[in-house]
Structure 1
Amino acid sequence: MRFKDRAVIVTGGSKGIGEGCSRVFCEEGGLVAILARGMKAGQDLARELNEKGPGKAIFVQCDVGQHEQILSAVELVVEQFGRLDCIINNAGVHPPAMSLEETSIEEMEELMRVNFLSTFAGAKYALPHLRKTKGTIINMSSMTAVLGQHHSTAYCSTKGAQVSFTKSLAIELGETGVRVNAILPSNIDTPLMRDWAESLPDPETALKRVSDLQVFKRMGTIEEMGRLALFLATDDSSFLTGQAIEAEGGASLDY
């Protein structure tokens, strides 16, 4: 019950790493707001979490590519729960493998809106409420922010922006007691990962290749990322801010 009666917003909270965060925080007694575009997946997960407890979950339909919807969602969550202790800016997309020349300016603008501007807006709109609780901001970036990825220049750029934002905002908010950290997962078994693999000529080989990159010869799980987010959202990490935690299963070792 490490998050009992405290409130968290998880953007993209119905699937993948966001789902893992929603599950872990609810298992620890949290008040979980699942923000996502897909109504059925969000409502189904909220219903399941409420049946299991001990925490409570609500679903708020939200397209993070529209910052006004993020503001409305934050205000609704605070009205429902009476407080906000953490926001996990997790929602994002990974486009198919494309070279720089194949990527249009319009595609880059849209990717930046969904992957980075949503993080900026989520932190901005949550901040007035987080100041009251001395809460935390957790930005879900990617190991590609520091390692790069073939034919993923646009995606890697948005993930790198999240890391820079995390470090700068941590300085800005240090004296307020609000902590800001980022998680940089490597290869996690998510729908997003499988969608990426399906964009390649041989999906099965691609999934095995990314699994073998970790020293454990497997991908990480969404629950493992959720438990790391929980650590960053509690006093167990009270002296950590501005950090980009590389949750990569040893993938960057023995490069």
Structure 2
Amino acid sequence: MARYGDRVVIVTGGSRGIGEGVVRAFVEAGSRVTIADIDAPTGEALARSLGGAATFARLDVRSDEEVGALIADVVAREGRLDCLVNNAGTHPPHLAIDDITPAAFRELLALNLVSQFVACRAALPHLRATRGCIINMGSLVGSLGQAHAVDYVTTKGAIAAMTRALAIDEARHGVRVNCVSPGNIDTPLWQSFAERAADPEAVRRDGAQAQWIGRLGTIDEVGRLCVFLAAEATYTTGVDHVISGGAELGYGRKETAPTSVSAPRTAAVAPSPPPGRRPPPSSSSPDRDTSR
């Protein structure tokens, strides 16, 4: 029996990278999948390669109208909706906050975060009818932080928070809402970061060594986690599922300032005297003013 057979799934940003892995995993599980993506040539090619189990629909997730129309079209065609995977988004180049304009910050919020809110809102009436589920794609750095990525980290941290809040609200309707937060996954986007570096091979080597498992994750592994959450984790909601190869575990060397930083000096706090007894004078007490 198929793990998620004859269920209807929408995957935004499903043409490549993690989204492609999610699409392939749901198709393998027996689902009917709509690949919703702005990249039509790549998405159409993926749908053709998967036969009749997947359909491509062009979607700009930044358009509220397009998101609503797509979900309505899928329900009209398939008769139901069982799972929404909010995967569309991007990681912009690393920049210090001084180099991120407010306009660019708002644009990334619209793409990475607001689009997920809009899709959840449009899909929920249909998911309540099937007691379906939502899977929001976050990131490991949404909880850990990342250097020169305050914009991206903000969007991903907010996705996890939105997931928890929505899980509370939708539990009474039987809708589960979870988050998947990948660490280093071997995707075209990750490889493009490596290629732009002065030493791409060193970046790839360091990337692999960042995990205790000793390698990057694969898009198929992320996809299988999403299928598990939809098909089998029926007692799980409001949880941020980290898939990182253990990258966040243990302590490591931290690079902060070029010079060592001493701990700030704090005033000593005297123990409280027994009830009814006055504390002895100290250098910080009004009884013994040494400031003059």
**TM-score for the superposition, normalised by structure 1:** 0.95
In structure 1, C-alpha distance between the alignment counterparts of 2:189 and 2:80, rounded to whole Å: 31
Q: Which moved more, 1:204-213 or 1:17-26?
A: 204-213
Distance 1:202 1:67, change over 3 A: farther
Paired residues of 1:116 and 1:161 also in contact (CA < 8 A)? yes
Any unmatched runs of 5+ in structure 2?
252-292
1:241 aligns with 2:237: yes
Residue of structure 2 equivalent to 1:18: 19
In the alignment, does 2:171 pair up with 1:170?
Answer: no
Query: Which residue number corresponds to residue 44 of structure 2?
Result: 43
Is residue 86–residue 130 contact of structure 1 (8 Å, CA) maintained in 2?
yes
**Map 1:200-219 → 2, pairs under 5 A:** 200-219=197-216
CA contact (8 A) 1:17 1:225 kept: yes
Q: Which residue is 1:79 aligned to?
A: 76
Larger radius of gyration, structure 1 or 2?
A: 2
Amino acid at match of 1:11: T
Contact 1:96-1:199 at 8 Å conserved across structures? no
Deviation at 1:233, TM superposition (A): 0.6
| 1:193 corresponds to 2:190 | yes
Residue 251 of structure 1 corresponds to: 247
Structure with bigger RCO (C-alpha 8 Å, 6+ apart): 1
Work out whether 1:27 is the aligned partner of 2:23. Answer: no
Do the aligned partners of 1:182 and 1:245 also contact (CA within 8 Å) in 2? yes
Give the aligned residue type for 1:208: R
Amino acid at match of 2:96: S
Listed one character per residue, the Cα deviations across residues 33-56 of structure 1 (whole Å, up to 9, x for unaligned) are 0000111111110011116xxxx1
Q: Deviations over 1:180-205 (max 9, x none)?
A: 00001000001121223344433332
Conserved in 2, the CA contact under 8 Å of 1:143 and 1:248?
Answer: yes
Instruction: In structure 2, give the amino acid aligned to 1:18.
Output: G
Find the aligned partners of 1:37 and 1:118 in 2 and give their Cα distance.
13
1:61 is aligned with what amino acid? R
CA RMSD of aligned residues (A): 1.1
Whole-angstrom CA distance in 1 between matches of 2:247 and 2:156: 17
Query: What SS class does the counterpart of residue 251 from structure 1 fall into?
Result: coil
2:98 is aligned to: 101
Q: Is the 8 A contact 1:16 1:222 kept in 2?
A: yes
Out of 105, 108, 112, the position equivalent to 2:109 is 112
Deviations along 1:109-130, one digit per CA (max 9) or x if unpaired, are 1100000011101111110100
Find the partner of 1:137 among 130, 134, 138: 134
Aligned partners of 1:117, 1:191: CA distance in 2, in Å? 24
Three-state SS of the structure 2 residue aligned to 1:214 is coil
CA distance in 1, matches of 2:196, 2:153: 17
Give the secondary-structure state (helix, strand or coil) at the position aligned to 1:245: strand
Secondary structure, aligned partner of 1:35: strand
Q: CA deviation at 1:253?
A: 1.0
Partner Cα distance (2:61, 2:198) in 1: 31
Q: Which 4+ runs in 1 deviate beyond 6 A?
A: none
Q: Which amino acid aligns with 1:96?
A: P
Q: Which residue of structure 1 aligns with residue 58 of structure 2?
A: 61
Structure 1: gaps (5+ residues)? none
* Number of the residue aligned with 1:126: 123
**Greater percentage in helix:** 1
Match of 1:226 among 220, 223, 231: 223
